[in-house]
Structures are given as structure tokens and as C-alpha cells.
Amino acid sequence: MDAASGNMRLVGTTQSGGGKFRHVRIAGESELVGRTECESIACTGTLKVKGDLQSGRIKLTGELTVEGDLKAGRAGMTGHADVRGSWRGEELRLNGSLIVKGDLESEACLVRGAASVGGLLSAETVELRMFGSSAAKEVGGGTITVKRSRMGSIKTMFTSSQPAFFTAELIEGDRLDLEHTKARVVRGNQVRIGPGCDIGRVEYRRSLSKSNGASVGSEAKID
């Protein structure tokens, strides 16, 4: 750690206490013990935070585990992120897999891979391109897009893995474009129910389109 600048650099297999820093750079396998706050984190490798993490920017290639809550401005990640609490931020872009035990709230949430959110997934823009099956208890936002990744679809043609589906109890937003989604209730202004969907009830205000390959139990136009 550079005490004069407030920066921290960890290389190899390391452990350090949490605290307040400017910029944190990690190469290798590191553990931060205690609440950690910083302006930015750049990590290539594995990072475990035993507490809450707050960072203006996160750039990760590898694995991130946060045993508490995570608050981030902009996060760009390739790999795996596991947050045992809730996630709040401005923008999340992730290629890989995501697990959030609590709620996930962000202005934009863009995931290519698989995502599991134990509570509410809320964002003005939600875009999920699935490699693997994903789920959230509820989803709310402006524009919500759920589709299988083309690469994921090609992969299942050559493997025995099951096709990916997204599962939620409630999906509610302004513009919804859903494919391969299983939900109890879907509610929105402009709703597209695409192929592979199994929806209990759809409520829409302006428009509803349904694919021939979709199953909808009931539908209603609401005010």
C-alpha cells in the first residue's frame, strides 16, 4: 500500500484489512477483511471482501465475492460475481455468471451469461442474454429484454446441457421483450411474449404480441 497516495496494490496471494482507499489494484488472489471503500478497483484474479464493498468503478477479470452489500458506480466484469447481500449501482456490464442474494438495483443491468437474483432486480434497462438458466424473484424497470444468447443456443446443440430459461414470479416494466421466460405475471405497456415463454397472466396497456411458440394462461388490457 502507498500510504502517501492512499492507493493499494496487491500482487500474488495476499490478505489485507479493509478501509478507505483511492485506487485498488489486484493481481492474483486477494482477501480484504472488513468494510472497504475506494474510488476504483481493478482486479485480475480473485477478490474476496469479508464485509461491505463500495467503489466508484470496478473492473474485474476473474472472480469477485462480497460477503456483505456492494455499492458500485460503474462495474465491468468478465467472470463470476457473488454478492451475499444486495447490489446497488449505476451500471453493471457482466460477461459470465452473477449471483446476488438480495436485491439488485441499477440504472442499467446488462448480463451475457447467467444471473440469479434472490430479491428484486430493478433497472431502467435490463438486458439478459442467457448462456445458462437464470432467475429473479421479481423484475421491474423501463426496458426489459430477456433472450438466449446465440452462442448459448449453439453450445446446447453440441452438449447435453438443458436449454436456458429465465424464471420470475413478476416481471413489470414499460417495454418488455421476453423469450424463453417462465413467469406467473407479466405486466407492461408494450409487451412481446416470444418463443419458449410460459406465462400465467399477461396484463398490458398499449400493445401485446405473442409468438406461436408461447404459452399464456390469460391476458387482459388494463388502464
102-119: pLDDT as tens digits = 999 999 999 999 999 999
Between the alpha carbon of residue 83 and those of residues 118, 123, 148, 200, the distances in Å are 10, 17, 24, 30
Using a pLDDT cut of 90, give the percent of the chain over it. Answer: 90
pLDDT at position 175 over 90: yes
Instruction: Give the model's pLDDT for residue 150.
Output: 77
> If pLDDT is split at 50, 70 and 90, which confidence band does 223 have?
confident
**Burial group, residue 139, by CB count within 10 angstroms (0-12, 13-18, 19+):** buried
What is the structure's pLDDT at 70? 98
CA distance 80 to 205: 38
- DSSP-derived letter for residue 6 is T
The per-residue pLDDT for range 79-92, each reduced to its tens digit, is 999 999 999 999 99
pLDDT over 70 percentage in the chain: 92
Look at residue 161 and tell me whether its pLDDT is greater than 90: no
The domain spans of the chain are 1-85, 89-223
pTM reported for the whole predicted model: 0.91
Evaluate if residue 154 carries a pLDDT over 70: no
Strands (E) across the chain are located at 8-20, 23-50, 53-66, 70-83, 87-100, 104-130, 134-148, 166-178, 181-193, 198-210, 215-221
Q: Which residue has the cell 447467467?
A: 114
Tell me how crowded residue 46 is: count the other CB atoms within 10 A of its CB: 18
Q: What is the pLDDT of residue 4?
A: 40
Q: What is the pLDDT of residues 13-72, one digit of tens each?
A: 999 999 999 999 999 999 999 999 999 999 999 999 999 999 999 999 999 999 999 999
Mean pLDDT, residues 123-135 taken together: 97
Q: Is the pLDDT of residue 155 over 70?
A: no
